[in-house]
Copies of this chain bind each other. A is one copy, B any other.
Amino acid sequence: MADARRVIATVCLSGTLEDKLVAAAAAGFDGVELFENDLVHSAWSPARIRRCCAELGLDIDLYQPFRDFEAVPPDVLRANLRRAEAKFDVMAQLGVDTMLVCSSVSPDAVDDDELAAEQLHLLAARAAERGMRIAYEALAWGRFVNTYEHSWRIVRRADHPALGLCLDSFHVLSRGGDPSLIRTIPGEKLFFLQLADAPKLDMDILQWSRHHRLFPGQGAFDLRGFTDAVLSTGYAGPWSLEVFNDVFRQADPRPAAVDAMRSLLLLEEQLGLPDAGLAPAPRLAGYAFAELAADEVSAPRLAAALAALGFSRTGQHRSKPVELWEQGDARVLLNRSTADESGAEGGAAIGALAVESADPARSARRAAAMLAPTLPRTRGPEETELSSVAAPDGTAVFFCRTGADDTTSWLSDFAATGSERDPGTGVTGVDHVALTQPFDQFDEAALFYRAVVGLQARPATEFAAPFGMVRTRTAADETGSVRLALDGTLVRRGQWAPAVRHPQHIALRTDDAVATARAMRERGAPILRIPDNYYDDLQARFDLPPERAAALRELSILYDRDEHGEILHLCTELLGSRVFFEIVERTGGYAGRGEVNAPVRMAAHRRQRLANGGWGTV
């Protein structure tokens, strides 16, 4: 497997065949499965496609699919063989030697393994005459053959050297199949391996397969167990991704191909296969900092808000217009030089995240091996060498060390302001950072943070927000020191989208939300006002002690509890077009982040913007 060919089916990617081939090659794939329709729609002749692939360094590892071949009456067999010969002609021009035949769904087919084996033998013999071979695949919804055990019985019975199996993880795992029997198949009879993951969904398998497949590591399937069984057979053929997904089908194929390759690299690592380029992700120890990029309208508001939240401006970057603000272990950089989108409301965004890495250099090597794009950085003389990579939404991710005694610490780039440290409001650190992902990047982002940073994502959940459904998943390192929330919309927003687009926030930790909220209020912090109706409902649901209930209501603190404990949290108003702060107190191991309260916060943020005249209903 260390030198297994990495292959992607053209059907995974959006665009014309030309778009797909360029994207697959750029992401480093060794070859492609050519999906027949991509060829049929192309103006390039098979010979030209072959030349183009060769120039791009791509082999064509499979021609697919050939449907509804086996176990049919003689007249249909004749037509099917004629059809196959025409495809063999095309394959010869393309220079591809393996054809995928998937188990029949045709009303012409009969339930007769003997006949199926006999006809597949015939097809394999025809293929062999041309130096080609047939990989037979059991579709999960095949009419009579829908398990790999069944397709293997037929292949064994057919007994032709040019006939073998194609195994597709989706077809096996979607039916709850047991992959351990794969171990009994001789590796030389496995002609092709297709890999796809998927979320756990209770729906028609064909629809599930057509619309919701994911790259390995993005779904709920045990791809590791499946591929481990395949490896045990001695299989030495291509590892190919075949993913049908509504989002990938319409997204830019270039990042999608990189996402696909990253999923294969991660799977290889999980299998413990050697790959020189990879280094295990170093242990993390919390956020080093989060950087806010702000324009001239937002920056003063953010600075005022940070002060009112109890932060102290402790440092000034030696060469850039960047301030360091600290409270407890929470460090926020305020970068006054940039903002992604300005306007009357002021542009502000979380431009960068930095995590404390036990070995920043190794983290950077791993990120590069996992295909994270390295960001250019201008460094002044005597400044720390800090490298960063771009997450799928463009956020810069730094790996660094903060220790004040450490000569490699990024802190040494900042000159101390020397001003007295504010006693603060009780904020002790960063609880999590929440980033709403671009619609096309939701699944890609989770895989990126897992592969590149080492954060394991939990399954996505959904909730109904005032302006549409939202899905959310959290990711964290092993010890929970770095927590990240990735949100996204279930439907890409259209023109009527009065919600905040791509909201982002930094959630700060406190041990006493009530005291912190009170201190912040006294300092005039712009705390988001939560309506009385919320507290009436809260009281109906939870029957809190009266003083507790009154304090929450008075201070606009949101509340939830689960079987482990409680969360008390409050938010600031929007500070610029899409950034705000949250303050979080957790007790007793409450696991979530108060998602149940996200809709009331969203409605309140909209009111704030309407009140500010910031925006109407578009």
Do residues B40 and A537 form an inter-chain contact, with CB atoms below 8 A?
yes
Min C-beta distance of A74 to chain B, whole Å: 16
Given the interface contacts A249-B464, A251-B494, does A531 sit within 8 Å of B42 by beta carbon? yes
- For the complex, is A133 an interface residue (Cβ under 8 Å from B)? no
Q: Which of A264-272, A339-347, A538-546 makes up part of the contact surface?
A: A538-546
- For the complex, is A46 an interface residue (Cβ under 8 Å from B)? yes
Q: Which of B19, B204, B468, B541 contacts A14 (CB 8 A)?
A: B468
Given the interface contacts A15-B498, A494-B250, A494-B492, does A41 sit within 8 Å of B531 by beta carbon? yes
- For the complex, is A617 an interface residue (Cβ under 8 Å from B)? yes
- For the complex, is A467 an interface residue (Cβ under 8 Å from B)? yes
Min C-beta distance of A528 to chain B, whole Å: 11
- For the complex, is A493 an interface residue (Cβ under 8 Å from B)? yes
Kindly list chain B residues whose C-beta atoms are within 8 Å of the C-beta of A19: 498, 617
Given the interface contacts A16-B603, A469-B249, does A534 sit within 8 Å of B90 by beta carbon? no
Beta-carbon nearest neighbor of A466 in chain B:
B16
In the complex, A617→B43 CA distance in Å?
18
- For the complex, is A246 an interface residue (Cβ under 8 Å from B)? yes
Do residues A531 and B43 form an inter-chain contact, with CB atoms below 8 A?
yes
Beta-carbon nearest neighbor of A463 in chain B:
B37
Do residues A543 and B468 form an inter-chain contact, with CB atoms below 8 A?
no
Residue of A37, A466, A497, A543 most packed against chain B (CB within 10 A)? A466
Kindly list chain B residues whose C-beta atoms are within 8 Å of the C-beta of A489: 250
Kindly list chain B residues whose C-beta atoms are within 8 Å of the C-beta of A617: 15, 19, 252
Q: Which of A80-88, A391-399, A403-411 makes up part of the contact surface?
A: A80-88
Beta-carbon nearest neighbor of A39 in chain B:
B533
Kindly list chain B residues whose C-beta atoms are within 8 Å of the C-beta of A532: 45
- For the complex, is A203 an interface residue (Cβ under 8 Å from B)? yes
A:529-562 near B, CB below 8 Å: 529, 531-534, 536-537, 539-541, 543
Given the interface contacts A83-B540, A464-B37, does A246 sit within 8 Å of B43 by beta carbon? no
- For the complex, is A247 an interface residue (Cβ under 8 Å from B)? yes
Beta-carbon nearest neighbor of A540 in chain B:
B86
Do residues A83 and B541 form an inter-chain contact, with CB atoms below 8 A?
yes
Kindly list chain B residues whose C-beta atoms are within 8 Å of the C-beta of A42: 531, 533, 603
Kindly list chain B residues whose C-beta atoms are within 8 Å of the C-beta of A534: 40-41
Do residues A599 and B246 form an inter-chain contact, with CB atoms below 8 A?
no
Q: Which of B249, B493, B498, B531 contacts A468 (CB 8 A)?
A: B249
Q: Which of B16, B252, B466, B495 contacts A15 (CB 8 A)?
A: B466
- For the complex, is A369 an interface residue (Cβ under 8 Å from B)? no
Digit string of A308-327 for contact with B (CB within 8 Å is 1, else 0)?
A: 00000000000000000000
Residue of A39, A41, A246 most packed against chain B (CB within 10 A)? A41
Q: Which of B16, B201, B250 contacts A493 (CB 8 A)?
A: B250
- For the complex, is A600 an interface residue (Cβ under 8 Å from B)? yes
Beta-carbon nearest neighbor of A465 in chain B:
B249
Digit string of A287-306 for contact with B (CB within 8 Å is 1, else 0)?
A: 00000000000000000000
- For the complex, is A590 an interface residue (Cβ under 8 Å from B)? no
- For the complex, is A156 an interface residue (Cβ under 8 Å from B)? no
In the complex, A529→B42 CA distance in Å?
11
Beta-carbon nearest neighbor of A41 in chain B:
B603
Do residues A246 and B490 form an inter-chain contact, with CB atoms below 8 A?
yes
Kindly list chain B residues whose C-beta atoms are within 8 Å of the C-beta of A16: 466, 603, 606-607
Kindly list chain B residues whose C-beta atoms are within 8 Å of the C-beta of A41: 466, 531, 533-534, 599-600, 603-604
- Known contacts A15-B498, A42-B603, A492-B494; can you find 4 more A-B pairs with CB under 8 A? A45-B533, A82-B543, A203-B204, A250-B491
29 sampled A-B residue pairs with Cβ under 8 A: A14-B466, A14-B467, A15-B466, A15-B498, A19-B498, A39-B533, A40-B533, A40-B537, A40-B600, A41-B534, A41-B603, A42-B533, A43-B531, A43-B604, A45-B532, A82-B540, A86-B540, A203-B203, A211-B469, A246-B490, A247-B491, A249-B469, A250-B489, A250-B497, A253-B496, A438-B494, A440-B494, A491-B492, A492-B494
